[in-house]
Amino acid sequence: MAEVVRLMSDHSADWPLWHEGGTGREDWPRLSDELASDLDRWNALWHGDHRYGWTDEDARRGYVDEAPVLAERLQRELGRDWVVEVGPLS
């Protein structure tokens, strides 16, 4: 049975991957440095503008539009033993 990981940002988390609760970068050593950096940047966008409600529509749209791209990259790196879910992306 495949493991499930969820890609989403949350107020209490500095890392946007969730598997059996919150996780940190150190829990995902198999990820490339490039993908990990992009996940950090994507999560920081949410924390930078959404934390108190989106103030920039372009930032919100960029955040939402990038999620499936990151999910696809994550799926490729994790392989068939994992299912990548996305969201919520409010």
pLDDT in tens, 26-74: 999 999 999 999 999 999 888 766 666 778 888 889 999 999 999 999 9
Neighbours of 34 (CB within 10 A): 10
**pTM confidence score:** 0.91
| Residue 7 host element (H or E) | strand 3-7
**pLDDT exceeds 90 at position 80:** yes
Count how many residues are written for the chain.
90
All structural domains of the chain with their residue ranges: 3-81
